[in-house]
Amino acid sequence: MAKKKGAGTIVIKVALWYMFILGAFAGYTNWLPQIRGDAPEAAEAINLDEVTPDQLSTMGEKIIFGSNDPLGVLAKGEGPIGKGQCPLCHRFFLEQKADRCPNLLALPEMEPPLLKISEEARSHERVKGRYEEFKKLHANGEKNSGIVPHATTGGEYLIESEYCPNCFVVVGFGLKGTNDTVSPMPIINKPPIELADTEIVAVVSFLQLRDGDESKWTAKDSWESYFGKELAAPAEGEGEEEEEKPKGPPVALGSMTVDEIVKEMTCFACHKIPGVAIAKTGMIGPLLIEKTNAPNRIKSPEYKKAVKEGKAHATTPREYVIESIMDPGAFIVPGFADDMLKDFRHKFTVSGLDVMVDYLLNQDVASAVAEGMDRLPNEKEGSILPPPEASLGEVKSGDLS
């Protein structure tokens, strides 16, 4: 009986917590998700011989933002994020706050102190100087893509950036602790984002067209010179899957599985989560093993400081995880930046949040290790994987001294 009473108290506490979070930060009207029943848009059929840079760019815009009116979507307070996921990390408009990655602003929007050069011209600069070091580093092929860095023009550099982010890592934007040799950007033609070649060409066309200089609309030619072959039209059905179901703003509901929520809410682009097939590569945020992390976070001096300052309020692991999702700025995990999206409180229903939080609170070091998943180099807790046999042997032999 005592147990039952305890559970009741917890339920009330949790309910109060939700009311606090949702009420304080969003307001009920904003929070209640509105599902639009838009008719599905047909995938654009393209004939590669006749397609104009303008048409490609329009396609690219849709892939990047999920809309051909990204500023309109932004004005409604929603994140304009399409299947390419780029705006999760990159800033395309001054109106957008994200700045965790190199900005991809259009030239007319640039303002000091931002560099006043076009996307194309900047990319052209990239393939000089420091690029040589990456050529040497990956002389036998970069390990995830097999590509040897070989871009010679700005257009080729933009193409290469999508297929092999590690082929050149912008100074200051590499994974912390890797001396700017490892990029946290996902490989765009591989799962989970997995754009088709033509879609990548469309995305690059969009980036180039925004700069306004017609002589630089090279995406398709750049793709062909970079890969040394003709760009093939997408196979039947390729890259169209996303368009088939009606799309409103994404919402996490209690009836969804964890995998569905992680996909819809784009957590996978930034986090690794044990047991979630789509979330194996994220490198912007911590490994989500909250059974291990959450209790330690609350006890940490950094968290206590945030509580003192009136920013953070969690007293249990469950509250910590809810707070992390609903109010990510309350506490910034040491080693990371305040890079998590801020609008999840508009996108989760209470039961959807329960599904996500329950799952994360069941993941620990053991569940990560079982899948060979490690913490990132910038997580202060350090690696959780046992060192490989070989290097253990080396250290033991003592011939390093």
CB count within 10 Å of CB 305 equals: 12
CB count within 10 Å of CB 326 equals: 23
Angle ∠(329,331,336) on CA atoms, nearest 5? 85
List Cα–Cα distances, 299 to 287, 320, 326, 331, 375, in angstroms: 19, 11, 20, 13, 20
Taking Cα atoms as reference points, which of 334, 297, 341 lies closest to residue 319? 297
- Residue of the chain from 79, 80, 154, 186 that contacts ligand HEC (CB under 6 A): 186
For ligand HEC, the closer CB: 126 or 220: 126
C-beta separation of 90 from 102 below 8 A: yes
341 binds ligand HEC (CB under 6 A): yes
271 binds ligand HEC (CB under 6 A): yes
How many residues belong to the site for ligand HEC (CB under 6 A)? 51
328 binds ligand HEC (CB under 6 A): yes
For ligand HEC, the closer CB: 213 or 394: 213
Phi, psi of 2 (to 5 degrees): -55, -40
57 binds ligand HEC (CB under 6 A): no
- Residue of the chain from 105, 325, 365, 376 that contacts ligand HEC (CB under 6 A): 325
Stretch that binds ligand HEC, among 230-238, 299-307, 338-346, 390-398 (CB under 6 A): 338-346
86 binds ligand HEC (CB under 6 A): yes
* Residue type for position 164: C
324 binds ligand HEC (CB under 6 A): yes
For ligand HEC, the closer CB: 3 or 186: 186
List Cα–Cα distances, 55 to 188, 198, 206, 298, in angstroms: 21, 12, 9, 51
C-beta separation of 336 from 286 below 8 A: yes
For ligand HEC, the closer CB: 114 or 395: 114
| Residues 156-185 close enough to bind ligand HEC by CB under 6 A | 158, 161-162, 165, 168-170, 173, 183-185
Asked if omega into 102 is within 30° of 0 (cis), the reply is: no
For ligand HEC, the closer CB: 247 or 285: 285
**Residues interacting with ligand HEC, by CB under 6 A?**
84-86, 88-90, 101-102, 126, 158, 161-162, 165, 168-170, 173, 183-186, 188, 203, 265-267, 269-271, 284-286, 288, 290, 293, 297, 321, 324-325, 328, 331-333, 336, 338-341, 344, 356, 360
